[in-house]
Amino acid sequence: RVDQLKYDVQHLQTALRNFQHRRYQREQQERQREELLARTFTTNDSDTTIPIDETLQFNESLQSAHRGMDELIGSGTNILQGLRDQRVTLKGTHKKILDVANMLG
C-alpha cells in the first residue's frame, strides 16, 4: 500500500512538473508575442550597414581586370592569325622560288 502511494505521489509530481513547464512555455510565448506586437520598428542602425562602396570598388576592379584579360586574349588571337597569314604567304613565296629554280635548272 505504501509503495502504491509513493508511486502515485511520484506520478502526480511528474504530471505537475509537466503541467507547470507547459504553462511556463505558454506564458513565455505570449509574453514574446506581446513584445513583438508592441515593438516599434525603425530603420537600421549604422552598425548593420554594409560597406557597399568598398564592395562596389572591388567589383569594378574585378570587371576591369576581366576586360583587360579579354583584350589580351583578343590581341593574342589577332597576332596568332597574323602569323598564320604570314606562314601561308611565305609558303606560297617559297613554292614560287622553287618553281623558278627548277625552271632555270
Rounded to two decimals, the pTM is: 0.43
Q: What are the per-10-residue average pLDDT scores of the chain (105 residues)?
A: 91 96 97 89 65 82 94 94 95 94 87
Question: How confident is the model at residue 46, as a pLDDT?
Answer: 60
N- to C-terminal Cα separation, the chain: 135
Domain edges within the chain: 1-39, 52-104
Using left for φ > 0, alpha for ψ between -120 and 50, and beta otherwise, residue 45 falls in beta
pLDDT at 56: 84
Interval 10-23: pLDDT, tens = 999 999 999 999 99
